[in-house]
């Protein structure tokens, strides 16, 4: 793990520490936050990391973000030297190492084997001969997989079990390498490491798909106000072994100890506290504590809520840096009569993506306006002093010779780096979690899939809630603008008839999903069918 920094207060820390607390139409600026110190790894430039952390990456989908985070939680839960999964932030950045399970036998059966189906489909071969034929084709054959013959009543039963678990793979359409293919998390024995393979069964910890985003999600949860109560439901839902899916996955594994994938460095999250940490942690807790929600139904909405939490964290941190209230998120219900909502949603999508570039420019400008920059300009060798300051703050030494050109070079280098990965995360995550759509010739804009709407209801509705109250909660909590009341606050010049139609379609979609009901007095309620509301009825 990189050593903790002991360097003096950075000239840009004051800007980095400011946080906007949004509540509907109002926002308050807080400047007393703590910037957690950390010794950066070797990078081309250490600038966006000082705002958002190290690192969120567009190659890591929301599913892989969630799976990486759960692997970390499972590792801490299994470590006898660790008392709590979420101990909170101490004086220094979380200095943590962890180990993930390879589960090579399980992965071979699910993602490498091509003989099971062929042999099991041969009706002319007796069961003992099927086992023998398969053992002859599999690497290390019976020596490695004899336990399966003892656990399954027939070869066909083994094939059926493997087929069933293959159906639990997430993002199977992406055709990743076997060591980057994963199951939907429904128990600890289904969680697997992500790594590249090298010669002689070696492990290449390339972080191609577990790119540290899950580490940052873990850190957000660990620094949240809900971490204590969250730990109990995480252990119950994911660290246990009792789900039918987990039992099946465990039956396919020999249980023989194999070398784990060890991670000896951890990602970086700059701020000690942030409202986004608490928001995503509260969403996690609300979902995981729904006793009526089957374990099988937990992973997908949790993936969507986790992706939303990261997306909004990136946008919120950009707004923090600029000092502007977080721009709202108009959500189009995709109908001809919601054309104005579509326009607002498209404009907001573009603004949110551009915010991060503005934040980068603002951070460089903060250095240029600092006393340290002015003092460097007064040095006998001002060029050398300014380059040294750039290297100390951003780990980048510019080639330019003048102060103005140095600032421009640092800004351009940071934005070029940003646009390759983190700058793409907001748009990519919005699409992946069902929060945006793309149309050829029409660009991208915010719109909600059925799965995304369901996740919002599960995380935000307990006992039945009036539709207007639900819409107000979505606006105040997430900045979502769907109906007329929020639109009046955010868009005084908007066509309210279009937002009225948008709200009507929103209600209709919830009703079709079984999440809304309009009573005889014409009052609409939003319903969470998995919440046990102590006998309250409609």
The full set of domain ranges for the chain reads 56-219+238-267
Q: How confident is the model at residue 533 (pLDDT cuts 50, 70, 90)?
A: low
Q: What is the mean pLDDT of residues 56-68?
A: 97
Q: Name the average pLDDT for the chain.
A: 92
The CA distance from 188 to 100, in Å, is 11
Q: How confident is the model at residue 311 (pLDDT cuts 50, 70, 90)?
A: very high
Q: What is the mean pLDDT of residues 121-140?
A: 91
Please report the pLDDT score of residue 5 as a whole number: 37
pTM over 0.85: yes
* Residue 302 pLDDT exceeds 70: yes
Q: How confident is the model at residue 7 (pLDDT cuts 50, 70, 90)?
A: very low
pLDDT in tens, 411-433: 999 999 999 999 999 999 999 99
Q: How confident is the model at residue 537 (pLDDT cuts 50, 70, 90)?
A: low
Tokens found for residue 431 = 């699409």
Q: What is the mean pLDDT of residues 17-25?
A: 72
Please report the pLDDT score of residue 461 as a whole number: 98
pLDDT in tens, 342-400: 999 999 999 999 999 999 999 999 999 999 999 999 999 999 999 999 999 999 999 99
The CA distance from 136 to 138, in Å, is 6
Q: How confident is the model at residue 2 (pLDDT cuts 50, 70, 90)?
A: very low
């Amino acid at each position: 793990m990189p050593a903790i920094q002991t360097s003096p207060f950075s000239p840009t820390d004051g800007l980095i520490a400011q946080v906007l607390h949004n509540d509907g139409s109002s926002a308050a600026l807080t400047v007393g936050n703590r910037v957690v110190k950390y010794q950066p790894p070797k990078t081309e430039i250490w600038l966006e990391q000082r705002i958002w952390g190290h690192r969120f990456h567009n190659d890591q989908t929301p599913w892989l973000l969630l799976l990486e985070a759960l692997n970390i939680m499972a590792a801490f839960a299994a470590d006898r030297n660790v008392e709590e999964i979420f101990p909170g932030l101490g004086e220094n950045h979380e200095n943590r190492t962890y180990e993930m399970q390879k589960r090579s036998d399980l992965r071979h059966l699910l993602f490498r084997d091509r003989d099971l189906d062929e042999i099991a489909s041969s009706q002319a071969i007796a069961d003992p001969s099927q086992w023998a034929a398969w053992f002859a084709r599999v690497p290390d054959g019976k020596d490695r997989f004899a336990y399966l013959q003892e656990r399954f009543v027939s070869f066909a039963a083994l094939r059926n079990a493997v087929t069933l678990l293959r159906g639990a793979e997430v993002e199977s359409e992406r055709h990743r390498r076997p060591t980057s293919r994963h199951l939907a998390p429904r128990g600890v024995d289904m969680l697997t490491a992500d790594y590249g393979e090298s010669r002689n069964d070696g492990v290449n910890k390339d972080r191609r798909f577990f790119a540290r985003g899950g580490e940052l999600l873990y850190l957000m949860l660990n620094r949240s106000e809900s971490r204590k109560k969250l730990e109990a439901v995480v252990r119950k839902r994911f660290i246990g072994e009792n789900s039918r899916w987990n039992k099946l996955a465990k039956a396919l594994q020999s249980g023989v100890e194999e070398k784990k994938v060890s991670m000896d460095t951890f990602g970086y999250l700059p701020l000690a506290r942030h409202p986004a940490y608490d928001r995503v942690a509260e969403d996690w807790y609300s979902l995981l504590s729904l006793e009526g929600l089957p374990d099988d139904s937990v992973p997908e909405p949790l993936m969507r809520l986790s992706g939303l939490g990261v997306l909004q964290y990136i946008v919120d941190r950009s707004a923090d840096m600029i000092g502007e209230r977080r721009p709202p998120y108009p959500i189009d219900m995709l109908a001809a009569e919601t054309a104005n909502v579509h326009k607002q949603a498209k404009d907001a999508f573009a603004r949110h993506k551009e915010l991060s570039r503005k934040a980068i420019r603002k951070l460089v400008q903060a250095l240029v306006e600092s006393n340290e920059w002015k003092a460097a300009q007064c040095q006998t060798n001002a060029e050398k002093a300014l380059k040294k300051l750039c290297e100390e703050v951003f780990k980048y030494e510019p080639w330019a010779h003048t102060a103005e050109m140095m600032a421009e070079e640092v800004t351009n280098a940071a934005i070029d780096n940003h646009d390759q990965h983190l700058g793409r995360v907001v748009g990519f995550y919005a699409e992946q979690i069902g929060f945006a759509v793309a149309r050829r010739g029409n660009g991208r804009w915010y719109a909600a899939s059925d799965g995304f709407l369901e996740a919002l209801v599960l995380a935000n509705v307990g006992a039945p809630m009036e539709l207007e109250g639900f819409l107000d909660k979505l606006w105040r909590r997430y900045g979502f603008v769907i109906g007329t009341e929020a639109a009046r606050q955010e868009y005084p010049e908007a066509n309210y008839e279009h937002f009225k139609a948008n709200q009507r379609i929103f209600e209709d979609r919830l009703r079709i999903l079984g999440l809304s009901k309009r009573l005889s007095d014409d009052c609409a309620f939003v319903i969470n069918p998995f919440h046990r509301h102590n006998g309250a009825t409609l």
